[in-house]
A and B are shown apart, each in its own frame.
Chain A
Amino acid sequence: MKALHEMGVAELGRALDAKEVSSVEAVQHQLERLAAHAELNTVLGLDPQALEHAAAADARRAGGERSALLGVPIAHKDIFVTRDTPTTAGSKMLAGYRSPFDATVVARLAHAGTVTLAKLNCDEFAMGSGNENSAYGPTRNPWDPSRVPGGSSGGSAAAVAARLLPAATGTDTGGSIRQPASFAGITGIKPTYGVCSRYGMIAFASSLDQAGPLARSAEDCALLLGAMSGFDERDSTSAQRAPQDFHAQMLTPRDGASAAQPLLGLRIGLPKEFFPKALANDVDRAVRAALAELEKLGATLVDVSLPRTELSIPVYYIIAPAEASSNLSRFDGVRYGHRAAAHGDLEDMYKKSRSEGFGAEVKRRIMIGTYVLSHGYYDAYYLQAQKLRRMIADDFQACFSQCDVIAGPVAPTVAWKIGAKSDDPVANYLADIFTLPASLAGLPGMSLPAGFGEGSMPVGLQLIGNYFDEGRLLHAAHAFQRATDWHERKPAGY
């Protein structure tokens, strides 16, 4: 049997089923790895009950219960509230905060039998693309510790890539699952808006925020997404539909396809705007090689256009901060969160508490959002952005009349060096160009390892599907991963 940390979710589930290993052993092993690799700074807090929960999972299994996830160790991005461990959202504002309840995603995964080991580092309130905006220090990329792991689900991506965990949860508002998955050489999926409940996910931009898994393969993502998703009456934007078996959808063969050509008939659209001159050569090369592989598997490549790709940047960075400024107004130092030690009257208490509790990027976004929603500027900025958002969503529907899925790079470059962009917020925003369009439209998107570029850093391939087409994305990704081994590569030393 191979080392426990070499096993992904599906494989570990099978080993648990075959009684080759117990959940207690698997959890103990991963806890030791998390402790041994503190240099990556992935962990913000450990769940002290992890071993008890593992023993309970073993007892459930001994009692005859069988589930793919029963006893599998995972961890949550520290943006999901948990009743029994603190939740910080990567912010000083919420240092030590204890939620009275578990987020729906947390509760559903626990119900499926996963064992939570830890809460994972992230950009403060999920605002960032490099995990450098965490109040608890940057997370490091295991492929090169001098580089960022991506963000905002950077702790999740780094921990999975370094085999400290088989899988972790993340959230994606403008690319925060897909981009760190790409930078860390793992697989991640952001489902259609509404597929996963936002209840208990600390709100950043409510019309964009979605939860999803980060894991080593499409198969592992399918298993986790099945358990995380589903209608929740506690989220007013939760999609009302029957529970989905994404794993079965992933395995369902296409009509007329063969073992050698599992993707026969699949039309993959390549937006020309996703391959601009400014795209780094190494990323372009890896993505095109992956596309050639998909062609070999039977897919047809089709040229399409998303003409407002570049406009997605200002549109997103108006809408997301606008929603953030509203969502973060709840942090007033009264009901929860930081309260300044020294202050004058009530208003002064609000101001000092917020100014001490929030970091620089969060303040910038609150300022942008407050401005674009303020009297006299609302129509020119916020309303205009929401109209452009409709045009961007319509552009996707025009593409999907010509193709079944859309493919391209996840990010214009591989992971950058820690500190390289920290003085230039706009440079960070521009690097989100390829993940923002699908976020604005609310479409599902995934990132899968597609090779390596500059500095031997991983490059991700992005696949975008139409609304509720997660099954098709996972099917294509799974076919790709059966034919390639990029997703099995791991960083040296881990």
Chain B
Amino acid sequence: MALTPDDVGRIAQLARLELANDERAAMLTQLNGFFSIVEQMSAVDTSGVEPLYTPLSAVQEVHLRLRDDAVSETGEPALRALNQRSAPVVEDGLYLVPKVIAG
């Protein structure tokens, strides 16, 4: 089942990407080219097979480690300044974005 131009528009919206018209046409061709090599996957019977989300679980039990929910980085506000030095727009330690709430 090939993707349509509408599908490409819908996926781009989900991905928060804006594609120019020529980009959109090329994307449609390339995605359909890609999904033609994916078809062979669906022919394989995988019933009863557990998905392998993380590779080491193929041979051992993998437990997700969680750290304590506590501040681990100290050194505010110097660290905050370091963290924000690559932010496009900051003011008083806050990240600025376009106005979201009308008023």
Contacts and interface: CB of A to CB of B under 8 A. Distances in A.
A76 interface: no
Nearest to A206: B54
A336 B50 CA distance: 38
Contacts of A99: 86
A310 B38 CA distance: 11
Nearest to A396: B58
Interface in B42-99: 42, 44, 46, 49-56, 58-59, 64-67, 79, 82-89, 95, 97-99
Contacts, number: 173
Nearest to B12: A367
A394 interface: yes
Interface in A347-367: 347-352, 354-355, 358, 360, 363-364, 366-367
A363 B27 contact: yes
B40 interface: yes
Interface residues of A, number: 78
Contacts of B49: 387-388, 390-391
A394 B59 CA distance: 9
B53 A207 contact: yes
A166 B53 CA distance: 36
A182 to B, nearest CB: 22
A27 B17 CA distance: 43
Contacts of A208: 55
Interface of A: 83, 96-100, 192-194, 207-208, 233, 236-237, 239, 310-311, 313-315, 317-318, 325, 329, 332-339, 343-352, 354-355, 358, 360, 363-364, 366-368, 370-371, 374, 380-381, 383-391, 393-394, 397, 424-426, 429-430, 440-443, 467
Given A425-B33, A429-B37, A236 B27 contact: no
Given A314-B40, A391-B49, A426 B98 contact: no
A430 B87 CA distance: 38
Main SS at interface, chain A:
helix
A230 to B, nearest CB: 15
Which of A96, A347, A367 has most chain B Cβ within 10 Å?
A367
Contact of A236 (B50, B53, B64): B64
B6 interface: no
Interface string B25-38: 00100110110011
Contacts of B38: 314, 317-318, 381
Given A207-B55, A363-B27, A383-B51, A354 B16 contact: yes
B71 to A, nearest CB: 15
A314 B56 contact: no
A386 B52 contact: yes
A262 to B, nearest CB: 28
